[in-house]
Amino acid sequence: MSWGGGDTALAQATQGRRLEARRMLFLLGWVIILLSAVRWATGAPDLTSSGTYGASLRLAVPILLAGLGGLYAERTGVVNIGLEGMMILGTWFGAWGGVQFGPWWGVVLGITGGMLGGLVHAVATITFGVNQIVSGVAINILAAGVARFLSVIAFTGHGGGATQSPQVTSSLPRLTVPVLAGGKFFGWQSPDVLGWLEQKHWYLLSDTSAMFRGFMVDLSILTVITLLLVPGTYLFLWRTRLGLRMRSAGENPWAAESLGVRVYTMKYLGVLISGALAGLAGAFLVLEAAGIYREGQTGGRGFIGLAAMIFGNWRPSGVAAAAGLFGYADALNLRSADAVHALLLFVGISLTALGIWYLYRRRFTGGVVSVLIGGLVFLWFAVTDAVPDQFIFITPYVATLVVLAVASQRLRMPTYDGIPFRKGEQIS
Amino acid sequence: MAERAPTVELKGITKTFPGVVANDDVNLAVFPAEIHAVVGENGAGKSTLMKILYGMLRPDGGTIRVDGRVVRFRSPKDAIAAGIGMVHQHFMLAANFTVLENVVLGSEPARAGALDFVGARARIRELSETHGAPLDPDRVTEDLAVGERQRVEIVKVLYRGARILILDEPTSVLVPQEVEELFRNLRELKGHGVTIIFISHKLDEVLEIADSITVVRDGHAVATVKPEDVTARQLAELMVGSELPTPETRESTVTEEVVLSVRGLGVRVEGRRVLEEANFDIHRGEIVGIAGVEGNGQRQLVEALMGLRKPDEGIIELAGVDVTLWPTRARREGGLGYIPEDRQGRGLLLPSPLWENTMLGHQTIDPFSRGPWVNRGGAHRRTEELIREYNVMTPGPDTSALALSGGNQQKLIVGREMIAEPKVLIAAQPTRGIDVGAQAAVWEQIRRARAAGLALLLISADLEELIGLSDTLYVIFRGRLVAKVDPATVTPEELGSYMTGAREAASA
Amino acid sequence: MSKRFRIRLLWLLVPVSAVVLAFGVSSLVLIAIGENPISAFRSMFRYGSQQNSLVSTVNRAVPLYVAGLAVAIGFKMNLFNIGVEGQYRLAALLSAAAGAAVVLPAPLHVAFIMLVAMAVGAGWAGIAGVLKVKRGVHEVVSTIMLNSIATGVTAYLLANYLRKPRVGSELLLATHPIPASGQLPPLAVIGGEELRSFVLIAVALGVLVYVLIWRTRFGYDLRASGINPDAARASGADPNRMILTTMLISGAIAGLIGMGDLFGFFHAYTLDFPVGLGFDGIAVALVGLNHPVGIAIAAMVFSWVDRAAQILDLEGVPKEVIIITKGVIILSVVIAYEVVRRLVQAQEVKNAAEETRRLEEREEAVAA
């Protein structure tokens, strides 16, 4: 099974990486500039408000954690579709731990719950050789069932029910950056420079300040930990001995085995870390975002995390960028119908521009399709006043699909990702 | 007989797998700083023996002694610690890793877990320079040429301080000039006191480089000789235990009728021209051979001919019909047969019964299907016919393909393609990795079919096979057909020069 | 021949180990929460073997079976259509609305509704198929996204376009009711419970799927593509066409998942139309090892367990324990299958080698 990324064997390595960095910067610039313009034109402040950015960050965290989880597993060559199920276990155990013992215990138990799911996946796929996707799907089904069963046992009659837990009363510490964003500094209420800039609604300057401020206000400690995990993962996987060995399990397990690397152990490690991160994502959802466990809370974020991993080209920085994008879509969804409507304008213009670029590069089918869809979206924006509720709900899923559809071709997954490794049976 | 103690001594090594005894009471003694060749045909047990020596397999019986001490290897790590290094036939390299990462993997220099590459980089440069051409440690392995990758494998082994080197069929992917370079390398290493075990079935090379030769046959070590005491023919007979088959063909059966015509065929991959300006015809009753080192465009040529890849330019005509853009199925139905070079990967459905494998490639025509329906009875009957005619050793048509030996699998594939009486048959490495008996059988079938009017495109790395079977022989190099030679008069050395571009023909 | 018998015995290990483990683990869990597993199972058996329970089991099993078939067709080609959930919901909505909008003579009306359902299911699955073929998007992620999107689209369409006008203080959103010509009368009434006629269509569907996969050229190409995509390509199977066609067929069958409930009970698409059948179908396909007969058995077992467990609430035992039971069955089947497959392969290699040696010896004896 492969993720379908085209003729990967001949992708240009180094040159591709350099181009990628330049392209990323260009895209970032485009987004900021156009988004600010649309905000100014439509008067929908939430499009670029610090509140939205803050919410984006908060909503991106579980996706980022899931994406990193997927990355760890796939870098060791194991596809982990079961992230959603492991996240569900994380939400349940996070809630239970939080109610019983306190929020930090919730975090620990959530991580453990996810890891248990990871252990099942690891045993099934690595030791027994079950098809990795089948195992992942089975774990998703199982985890949902187990959560329901445990809820009946633990929550009914104690303030909760079969589909939700009692409220988690205490919460984890939060911080706000002083001076720039008005945080408290040893009890002294500091000025809120970026907030002041944001209120001015000056084109681009206010929007960028808002963006920075959004990332500095009311940050959960888990958010900080998650953000640190991004460079941390890079350092771990690319700059340590263990990380090199883990990656070798995904790049050429037979070579690794022949050099004395214990490939099975590396894969187990990758999948267990994967489960742990998914569990942490679940714990975050419960302890930070909702304060309560609810059935269905994960809402497909495990899969969106996988999409972030693919879109991020299996690199921590890419996963972070993609998670940010999905978090933003999720945030708009929740904040304001106006903003979603304004987003249509942004998407319409961007797609049309992309289409024109494709046509200029003589890619006719891509160009025509993009211009057509861009035009339709623009029309939709012009003709309607608001986007119906049901459609707002599906924004992140559509965003995921669109992103995958646009980006899937140019990606490079670990060489032996998804290919089962049995000692001695070489598939060369 | 020298009185030195052997560096490596295998005594009574036995190893069985389900259904087959790979090594049966094998003894091997290798002396310090000697180049010791282990020869035998495919499936004789040489690779198994070496895997045992390298710790990848555990023997069922027998002892291993290194420098006089009995050792027990639980994994390659133990073997590496004992100073043994192995360069595998199929390179064990991670394409996405840099040379540095590939070399240090498993023995990484680290400070508290964090990688410390500075020293390693210097050492790799030093090792690669003193023993051959320098390697850049930070290049991504995927970007290296085949010969360079082999050097990475050798450096990998030397980096770990190996004093005993096992090379498994090292020349199978090299041209004669690169083989000379490798041999120079090996002699230098020998001069530095390294002991080398060299596994091969290429007898002329073995006679050139080895100090001592052990012949393995059917899991037994049948003889140990010195190269000056034997001829290649004697060695071969020791390997096979009987008369050798010869691939030579007799009179010409080439007719005037062109069944396959290729004009100006070109394939581009990511902008690079992998195949360029390919021009040739194949007539009824003719075998056209294409010689070339793997990776010079043969795969893309075959894919374009089969319809698995769209060519960027050129025309392919099958029996006069332009099939350049036809889908694969239409071409197969139109009389194009295919013996893929990777029989398990591209030619068989391993878990399926033989009768379903006979259908593969022909599932839409008689007797395998009637309309939209699969004709099980027809498939069974055809399979039984095939088993008889092509001497496939199997209990019956319902056996799973994976239960057959490599040679029998190949006979099945060759049989199913030929029994369908194709107009043109494309055979890529048709006798790779099968025992001599099966190889002889396949050659005989090819010769017979040719006499009956089959047109065959033979793509092979076995120069003897090419020279022996082809009526017309081309050489492919860097995507172009650079030479057209007369198989009756050309020598392997000449061919090798064309294949490496050392010599350019006047016209192709 | 004892060799082949040994292989058949090995395969039997799969369901046996699943049942044993399922019972074992469930018993342990029950004991852990202070319940008596033996009395619980006894109650379940007693309740579940009542006539009305058996009929209800069949009714419940039918949509599971159809879902399992839809998923299995994809699985056979290593194509993971996880989107059956969204496909069937959208299909149920649109076919109910279409069915309510026309009047046709009875058999035609039913056929029309089914065709609309199949078309919608195929179309929605086709989106994922096109994305995979044209853009290389993996179908697992895309179909799951499409599930959620289908939920939104269904809700939107039902709320704004397709619902019947509210009568009095009715709260339930629903499509217009389908007239009698578009309803299927029950096959029989046993023990007070109606046996829905759609079961006949489901059985026919199972036969059709078996024939399609194992007796047609298309089925051969499909299985070959699942076993060895490279070899299948070299043999002429067009991978893109195969992916698209398989997704369409899978989606079309998925569209029929809701038909049993639609024809036999609801006669309209409402907000309390059964959900989750898609995911249950995946479980059933896995346990049934992607074979129409296996899926039928799995669907019956899962439905029966669901039905029989209803009695547990009355006994004070949390009926959710069967979720654990079903989960263990899924996991153990999936793992046991891999283990047994390897054992069987090893046995086959051994058998073949021995027989080959016997053949060779016979040949040599003849030649001598």
Q: How high is the pLDDT of residue A1?
A: 32
Chain B interface residues (partner C, CB cutoff 8 A): 18-20, 306, 308, 327-333, 338, 340, 342, 345-352, 356, 359-364, 369, 372-374, 393-395, 399-400, 402-405, 408
Q: Model confidence at A179, in pLDDT bands (50, 70, 90)?
A: low
Q: Chain C residue closest to A390 (CA)?
A: C152
Interface contact flag, B372 C354, Cβ < 8 Å: no
- Bridge partners of A220, per DSSP, are A174
Give pLDDT, residue A242. 93
Q: Do B403 and C348 touch (CB under 8 A)?
A: yes
pLDDT band at B244 (very low <50, low <70, confident <90, very high): very low
Is B402 touching A (CB cutoff 8 A)? no
Q: Please give the pLDDT value at position B330.
A: 93
Report chain C's mean pLDDT, rounded to a whole number: 88
The answer to whether residues C234 and B340 touch, using CB atoms and an 8 Å cutoff, is yes
Residue among A13, A258, A414 minimizing CB distance to B142: A13
Q: How far is A412 from chain B (nearest CA, A)?
A: 10
Phi first, then psi: give them for residue B277, nearest 5 degrees: 50, 45
pLDDT surpasses 60 at A7: no
Above 90 in pLDDT, residue C256?
A: yes
Confidence category of residue C333, pLDDT binned at 50, 70, 90? very high
8 Å CB contact of C348 and B400: yes
Q: DSSP per residue over B238-279, as a string?
A: HHHSSPPP-----S----S-EEEEEEEEEEEETTEEEEEEEE
- Are B114 and A252 in contact (CB < 8 Å)? no
Q: Does B93 touch chain A (CB under 8 A)?
A: yes
Q: What is the pLDDT of residues C168-221, one digit of tens each?
A: 666 677 888 888 888 888 888 887 888 888 999 999 999 999 999 999 999 999
- Is the sign of the CA dihedral C74, C75, C77, C82 positive or negative? positive
Cα dihedral value B156, B160, B166, B171, nearest 10? 20
- Both structure tokens of A353: 């521009």
- If you classify domain B8-240 with CATH, what class do you get? alpha beta
* pLDDT surpasses 60 at C283: yes
Residue C292 has pLDDT above 90, yes or no: yes
Contact C330 A138 (CB under 8 A): yes
The pLDDT > 70 percentage for chain B reads 92
* Band (A20; pLDDT cuts 50, 70, 90): low
Between chain A and chain B, the number of residue pairs with CB atoms below 8 A apart is 88
Q: Which of A14, A241, A256 sits opposite B113 (nearest CB)?
A: A241
Helix axes B406-419, B436-451, angle to 10 degrees: 10
pLDDT at position A383, please? Answer: 81
Name the one residue in this structure whose structure tokens are 């942490």. A280
Q: Please say if the pLDDT value at position B507 is more than 50.
A: no
Average pLDDT, chain A: 82
The residue of A12, A258, A266, A417 whose CB has the most chain B CBs within 10 angstroms, and thus the best one to mutate to test that interface, is A258
Contact B372 C238 (CB under 8 A): no
Question: Any CB–CB contact under 8 A between C224 and chain B?
Answer: yes
Q: Quick check: A174 and A220 in contact, CB under 8 A?
A: yes
Does the beta carbon of A138 lie under 8 angstroms from any beta carbon of chain C?
A: yes
Distance CA A276, CA A278 (A): 5
* Contact flag C136-A81 (C-beta cutoff 8 Å): no
CA pair distance B208, B188, nearest whole angstrom: 15
Q: Give residue-wise pLDDT tens across range A54-84.
A: 888 889 999 999 999 999 999 999 999 999 9
Is the confidence at residue B80, as pLDDT, over 90? Answer: no
The answer to whether residues A355 and A100 touch, using CB atoms and an 8 Å cutoff, is no
Record: contact C353-B352, CB cut-off 8 A: no
Nearest Cα of chain C lies from the Cα of B157 at a distance, in angstroms, of 34
Mutate to test the interface with A, among C82, C149, C340 (most CBs of A within 10 A): C149
What is the pLDDT, as a whole number, of residue B120?
Answer: 86
Phi, psi of B165 (to 5 degrees): -110, 130
Report CA-CA distances (Å) from B11 to A185, B26, B53, B62, B220: 77, 6, 11, 6, 12
A247 — pLDDT class (breaks 50, 70, 90)? very high
Q: pLDDT band at A14, cuts 50/70/90?
A: very low
More confident site: A362 or C131:
C131
Minimal C-alpha gap between A406 and chain B (Å)? 19
Q: What is the pLDDT of residues C222-231, one digit of tens each?
A: 999 999 999 9
Per DSSP, the three-state class of B63 is strand
Which of B93, B108, B269 minimises the CB distance to A241?
Answer: B108
Report residue A185's pLDDT band, with 50, 70 and 90 as the boundaries.
Answer: low
What kind of fold does domain C36-316 have according to CATH? ABC transporter involved in vitamin B12 uptake, BtuC (1.10.3470)
* Chain segment B254-275, per-residue pLDDT in tens: 888 899 999 999 998 877 788 8
Distance from CA of A117 to the nearest CA of B (A): 28
Question: What number of C-beta contacts closer than 8 Å exist between A and C?
Answer: 127
- B to C CB pairs, distance under 8 Å: 111
Of B54, B75, B115, nearest to A241 by CB-CB distance is B115
Residue B479's nearest CA partner among B324, B308, B203, B276 is: B276
**Is the CB of residue A271 less than 8 Å from the CB of residue A80?**
yes
Q: Do domains B8-240 and B258-500 have the same CATH topology?
A: yes
Of the listed ranges B333-347, B434-448, C236-250, the one predicted with least confidence: B434-448
Q: Residue B333 and residue A412: Cα distance in Å, rounded?
A: 36
Q: In chain A, which residues have their Cβ closer than 8 Å to the Cβ of C145?
A: 300, 303, 307, 397-398, 400-401
Query: Mean pLDDT over residues C273-293, rounded?
Result: 91
Out of B77, B108, B345, closest to residue A244 by CB? B108
Angstroms from C16 CA to nearest CA on chain B: 24
- The arrangement of secondary structure in B258-500, i.e. its CATH architecture, is 3-Layer(aba) Sandwich (3.40)
For the segment C73-86, what is each residue's pLDDT rounded down to a tens digit? 999 999 999 999 99
Query: Which of B333, B373, B399 comes nearest C352 by C-beta?
Result: B399
C349/B19 Cβ within 8 A: yes
* pLDDT class of B161 with cuts at 50, 70, 90: confident
**B508 vs A378, which has greater pLDDT?**
A378
Q: How far apart are CA C11 and CA B379, in angstroms?
A: 26
Asked if B102's CB is within 8 angstroms of A241's CB, the reply is no
Neighbours of chain B (3+ CB pairs under 8 A): A, C
Nearest by CB to residue A130, choosing from C152, C282, C338, is C338
How confident is the model at residue A18, as a pLDDT? Answer: 57
Task: List the beta bridge partners of residue B221.
Answer: B216
Predicted pLDDT at A9:
30
Q: Where exactly are the structural domains of chain C? A: 36-316
CA angle C175–C176–C178, rounded 5-degree value: 115
Facing residues of A84 across strands?
none
B-chain residues near A251 (CB < 8 A): 94-97
Q: What is the distance between the alpha carbons of residues C267 and C96, in angstroms, rounded to a whole number?
A: 7
Nearest CB neighbour to B340, from listed C219, C234, C353? C234
Among A255, A333, A340, CA closest to A301 = A333
Domain boundaries defined on chain B: 8-240, 258-500
Comparing CB atoms, the residue among C230, C345, C359 nearest residue B402 is C345
Q: Which residue has the higher pLDDT, B301 or C51?
A: B301
**What value does the mean pLDDT take over residues C128-146?**
90
Q: Report how far residue B324's alpha carbon sits from residue B305's, in angstroms, rounded to the nearest whole number.
A: 8
Least Cα separation, residue A127 to chain B (angstroms)? 18
Instruction: Name the closest residue on chain C to residue B334, using Cα atoms.
Output: C236
- pLDDT the model gives residue B508: 42
CA distance C53 to chain B (A): 40
Residue of A nearest to B85 (CA): A259
For B189-203, write each residue's pLDDT tens digit.
888 888 999 888 777
| DSSP for residue A11 | -
Question: Residue A399: CA atoms inside 13 Å, Cβ hemisphere, count?
Answer: 28
Residue B301 has pLDDT above 50, yes or no: yes
**pLDDT at A232 (0 to 100):** 95
Q: Is the pLDDT of residue A271 over 70?
A: yes
In a mutational test of the B interface, the residue from C220, C225, C337, C351 whose CB has the highest number of chain B CBs within 10 Å is: C220
CB atoms B106 and A415 under 8 Å: no
* Average pLDDT for B321-332: 92
Chain mean pLDDT for chain B: 85
For residues A140, A142, A147, A148, the Cα torsion angle rounded to the nearest 10 degrees is 110
Residue pair A80/A70 in contact (Cβ under 8 Å)? The answer is: yes
Asked if A255 and B270 come within 8 Å (Cβ–Cβ), the reply is no
Q: Do C156 and A390 touch (CB under 8 A)?
A: yes
Q: Which region among B231-245, B337-351, B388-402 has the lowest average model confidence (pLDDT)? A: B231-245
Residue A210 has pLDDT above 50, yes or no: yes
A388:C160 CB<8 A: yes
Q: Choose, out of C210, C214, C217, the residue to mutate when testing the contact with B (most B CBs < 10 Å).
A: C217
